[in-house]
Amino acid sequence: MFESLKAFPTDPILGISAAYAADASTDKVDVGVGVYRDETGQTPVMKAVRLATARVAAAETTKSYLPTSGNAGFNRAITELVLGLSHPAVVEGRAVTLQTPGGCGALRLAADLVHLVAPLSPVALSAPTWPNHPALLGGAGLTTVAYPYYDAVSRTLRFDAMLAFLETLPPGAVLLLQPSCHNPTGADLAPAQWEELIALVKRRSLLPLLDLAYQGLGEGLEADVHWLRRMTAEVPECLVTVSCSKNFGLYRERTGAVIYVGRSPVETQAVHTNLMMLARRMYSMPPDHGAALVATIWADAELRAAWQQELDGMRERLARLRRELATALAASLPGQEYSFIAAQRGMFSLLGLAPGVVEALRRDHHVYCAPDSRINIAGLSGIGIERLVAALVRLT
Ligand code: LMR
């Protein structure tokens, strides 16, 4: 049956990890896949996660099924973390959160929900965006279109072009936005731009799909969802997808959620049951472990404080690495402009390098960034900055 299948190309991001692992060089630098790394280059298990793991294991009495909507304590925690308990939709019972297998599972479920009612609605994605966005949403049968977002050569947002493009979308089109720490550019909208965008979304009746994968790694837990909360409070309907991979370090536990905010509790309840139907058809229910850890951390003041403190440290370290890299580049490449790296937030910046330079970085200098020249700032621990800068001096 499957004779006609040709080998499928390696994933552009996950493939970098495999290539890095296969490189025998002792000077190699991994700034590819978006995982947090500490000074030793490890992706650590967070302290609060370790403590919660012991508690969950000790308290667990069964491995029986979860409901299709997942772990109820986790769903409450995510609602509070992302929307906050004073959000009008939460107060009025117009918001619902459903645990999913990671942020990818959330995106797929959100896409399936859109496809159920509006299969022809286009989904607008930023150019550039995370390569798995078009794959996931297109894989659910939706058509994706690209809106101008960032110019990698001038290192600036293309906000006017973005608005002009969004004006051409039909009502009901889905607009995927990243509320903070934009992947792959590291460039987020300014407050005045968010205001303008919210007005446009309302006027053009677009459906925002807010993909939140880095809460806490940009400016802070609250600051990173400021505009998400504004948007979800002002538009009649909205979807949010959440990942706990980076801010809880739960990557392989596949811990995420989809949030729907609707016009009325009745409408929200109807969407909730349809999300459960779609989940049941696809994977039945999400895995419990990561969600149980998040729920345990959230419910315990000491664990929550320890988690926040470690997350604050991760965010501050990313900001420091950004400053150090920008300073080192300014010193070694005086004619080139790299100050944008220090001004951006989160895990990524886009260096704006030609594909040939990306290839030479890997082949000749053992520096592994994403094919679009996105670097993971956290991967620059130890002497990573020195090695990256030395390679760029040779190549640019
Ligand atoms: C990334 O962008 O590198 C991460 O979100 C990992 C992934 O799944 O691509």
Looking at residue 390, which CATH number applies to its domain? 3.90.1150.10
Residue 2 within any structural domain of the chain: no
pLDDT for position 130: 97
Domain boundary among 299, 330, 354: 299
Lookup: tokens for 12: 């552009």
How do residues 287-315 score in pLDDT, each as one tens digit? 999 999 999 999 999 999 999 999 999 99
pLDDT at 181 over 90: yes
Residue with CA nearest ligand 1 atom 6: 34
Ligand 1 environment, Cβ below 6 A? 13, 33-34, 130, 132, 183
Residue 52 within any structural domain of the chain: no
In whole angstroms, how far apart are CA 198 and each of 96, 193, 220, 241, 243? Answer: 21, 9, 22, 18, 23
Residue 192 within any structural domain of the chain: yes
**Averaged pLDDT, 76-101:** 98
| Shortest-distance atom of ligand 1 to CA 34 | 3
pLDDT at 330 over 90: yes
pLDDT at 393 over 90: yes
pLDDT for position 153: 87
| Shortest-distance atom of ligand 1 to CA 184 | 2
Tell me the CA–centroid distance for residue 200 and ligand 1, in Å.
29
Of 329, 383, 332, nearest to 352 by C-alpha is 329
Domain count, the chain: 2
Is 246 a residue of the active site? yes
Domain boundary among 275, 299, 323: 299
Residue with CA nearest ligand 1 atom 5: 34
Query: Ligand 1, from 125, 130, 347: best to mutate by most atoms within 8 Å of Cβ?
Result: 130
Catalytic residue among 48, 106, 124, 130: 130
pLDDT for position 365: 96
On whether both 174 and 272 belong to a single domain, the answer is yes
Residue 369 within any structural domain of the chain: yes
Instruction: Domain of residue 321: give its range.
Output: 12-45+314-395
pLDDT for position 382: 77
On whether both 124 and 80 belong to a single domain, the answer is yes
pLDDT at 396 over 90: no
Tell me the CA–centroid distance for residue 8 and ligand 1, in Å.
19
| Shortest-distance atom of ligand 1 to CA 104 | 8
Residue 183 within any structural domain of the chain: yes
Tell me the CA–centroid distance for residue 264 and ligand 1, in Å.
35
Is 306 a residue of the active site? no
**Averaged pLDDT, 210-226:** 98
Query: Ligand 1, from 13, 125, 126, 350: best to mutate by most atoms within 8 Å of Cβ?
Result: 13
pLDDT for position 335: 86
Residue 139 within any structural domain of the chain: yes
**Averaged pLDDT, 200-218:** 98
On whether both 274 and 339 belong to a single domain, the answer is no
| Shortest-distance atom of ligand 1 to CA 245 | 5
**Averaged pLDDT, 249-267:** 98
pLDDT at 162 over 80: yes
The CATH number of whichever domain residue 71 belongs to comes to 3.40.640.10
Catalytic residue among 48, 89, 111, 213: 213
pLDDT for position 337: 87
Lookup: tokens for 73: 């304590």
On whether both 109 and 200 belong to a single domain, the answer is yes
Q: What angle do CA 6, 110, 106 make, to 5 degrees?
A: 80
Alpha carbons within 13 A on the beta-carbon side of 186: 26
On whether both 260 and 140 belong to a single domain, the answer is yes
On whether both 181 and 213 belong to a single domain, the answer is yes
Domain boundary among 299, 326, 344: 299
On whether both 333 and 276 belong to a single domain, the answer is no
Tell me the CA–centroid distance for residue 34 and ligand 1, in Å.
5
On whether both 84 and 39 belong to a single domain, the answer is no
Lookup: tokens for 232: 């979800």
Catalytic residue among 89, 246, 306, 391: 246
Query: Ligand 1, from 14, 108, 132, 372: best to mutate by most atoms within 8 Å of Cβ?
Result: 132
The residue assigned the tokens 């538009």 is 235
| Shortest-distance atom of ligand 1 to CA 32 | 3
Of 116, 131, 82, 47, nearest to 309 by C-alpha is 47
Per-residue confidence band for 176, with pLDDT thresholds at 50, 70 and 90? very high
pLDDT for position 381: 81
On whether both 28 and 127 belong to a single domain, the answer is no
On whether both 37 and 174 belong to a single domain, the answer is no
Of 208, 123, 207, 199, nearest to 163 by C-alpha is 199
| Shortest-distance atom of ligand 1 to CA 183 | 2
CA 246, CA 290: separation in Å to the nearest integer? 12
Helix (H) or strand (E) holding 341: helix 340-343
Residue with CA nearest ligand 1 atom 2: 34
Residue 17 within any structural domain of the chain: yes
Tell me the CA–centroid distance for residue 152 and ligand 1, in Å.
19
Tell me the CA–centroid distance for residue 19 and ligand 1, in Å.
15
pLDDT for position 281: 97
**Averaged pLDDT, 190-207:** 98
On whether both 70 and 41 belong to a single domain, the answer is no
On whether both 179 and 231 belong to a single domain, the answer is yes
In whole angstroms, how far apart are CA 138 and each of 107, 111, 120, 133, 146? Answer: 11, 9, 12, 8, 12
Is 213 a residue of the active site? yes
Tell me the CA–centroid distance for residue 133 and ligand 1, in Å.
10
Tell me the CA–centroid distance for residue 13 and ligand 1, in Å.
6
Average pLDDT over the chain, rounded to an integer: 97
Residue 6 within any structural domain of the chain: no
How do residues 332-382 score in pLDDT, each as one tens digit? 999 888 999 999 999 999 999 999 999 999 999 999 999 999 999 999 987
